[in-house]
Amino acid sequence: MLLYLAGHVLYALAASWYGFDWLSANSRIRWDGGIYLDIAHTGYYAGPCAEINPSADKPHAYCGNAGWFPLYPYLVLFMAKVTGLELSVSGVLVTEMCALAMLTAVWHLLGTTATARKLACLAVAAAFPSGVYFHATFPMSVAVLLALVTFTLLMRGRWVLAGLTGLATAAAYPLAVLLAPASVTLLLIAQGRWSWRRVARAAYVGGLTGCGLLAVFGLMYLTTGRFDAYLRIQTSNYGHGIHNPVNTFLVVLDRSPLAVSAEMVFGISLLALALLALRGATARGQATVLDWTLATVYGPLLLVMPLIAGANQAQFRSHTLLLPLVLLLRHVRASVTAVLAAVAVPLAFVMTTLFLTGVLV
C-alpha cells in the first residue's frame, strides 16, 4: 500500500509540473483512453471512414471503436451502473482498484515475508516507466492483474479457474493472448510424472486463453456485423501487421522523444536481468517453473511481438505487460534491483508528463 501511494505521489508531482490535477478523472483520459470510455457509452460500431468520419485522413480506411478490446470498457460500464458514477470516474476507479490488486498479487507471489530484495522488486513494479497507464483509462492494470492471477492459480494447481482467468486476460488486451503459450509452457515443464493428463491440462488452459481472443472476434461480429472489424481498423489506420522486428526496433530507438527509446532499453534491460537472475537461481537450485516461464517465454514474446506488429504499435504501453518479470529480481541482490528502481523513477516521471501533455498515445 505504501509503495502504491508513493507511486501516486510521483505521478502527482509529474502532473503538477505541467499544471494538471492528478486527482481529476479528466487527467487520466488521453487518446485511446477516450475510445474505451466511448465503447462503454455507445457499444461497438465500425464502418468505412467516409461514413463514420468524413474528415478522416484516410476516407477509404475502416473507422470506429471496434479496434479496441472489450473487457475493460464493459467493467467500466458495470461499475458505472452499480455506483451511479460518471463513466470517466468509473474508468479511473476500475484501473485504480486493479492497480492496487496488481501490486498485492506481486507481493503475494514474492512471498509476504518482508525482505530488502522483495521490497526492491515491489519498488520497481510501483515505479514502472510506463506505469502511468496502470492509472489511466486503459486496460493495462486489468490485463496484468489477470495475468498474475492466472500464474498464481497455475502454481496452485487450480487449472479450471486458471483457464477462465486466462480467457478474461485475452479479452482485455490483444497481446495478453501471449499468456496462452506461457501457461502451456509452465504446465508442461512442471515437475512430476509425465502423463497425457498434463498435456490435457496444458491444452485446456492454453486453449481457453486463446478462446478469449476468438470471443472478442465473435463479439465484433455480433455488434458490427464483421468478424474482422478489429483487424480492419488496426491495419488500415495504423499499419499494424507483420513487420521486421529489427527494423521496428531501430525505428523506435531513433524516435523522439528520447524517453520512448529509454523505455525500450529499460524493457530489454529488465528481461536481461531476469535471465541472469534465472541463471543464478538455477545454479543454486532455487528457480521455479514460473521463473523459467517468465524469463524464457513470457518476457521474450512480449518484447518481440509488439516489434513485429510495427513501429506504430505503442511499444511502451505493451511493455506494461512485462511487469511480472520483477518476480525474478528476488534472486538478485537488493542493491542491483534498487538501482533499476532508481532508474525507473525519473523515467516514469517523464513518461507521465508526456502522457498528460498528449505526446504519448
pLDDT in tens, 164-201: 999 999 999 999 999 999 999 999 998 777 788 889 99
If residue 9 lies in a helix (H) or strand (E), which one and from where to where? Answer: helix 2-17
Distance CA 208, CA 162 (A): 9
Burial of 248 (0-12, 13-18, 19+ CB in 10 A): buried
pLDDT of residue 59: 64
Residue 57 has pLDDT above 80, yes or no: no
What letter would DSSP give residue 255? P
Average of per-residue pLDDT values in the chain: 93
pLDDT in tens, 285-314: 999 999 999 999 999 999 999 999 988 889
Residue 110 has pLDDT above 70, yes or no: yes
C-alpha grid cell, residue 308: 513485429
Q: Please report, for the chain, the start and end positions of each structural domain, with discontinuous segments joined by +.
A: 2-356
With bands split at pLDDT 50, 70 and 90, how would you rate the model's confidence at 145? Answer: very high
pLDDT of residue 255: 82
Distance CA 359, CA 350 (A): 11
What pTM did the predictor assign? 0.95
pLDDT of residue 55: 66
pLDDT in tens, 249-280: 999 888 888 999 999 999 999 999 999 999 99
Least confident of 229-238, 261-270, 332-341: 229-238
Helix (H, G, I), strand (E, B) or coil at 228: coil
Distance CA 69, CA 67 (A): 7
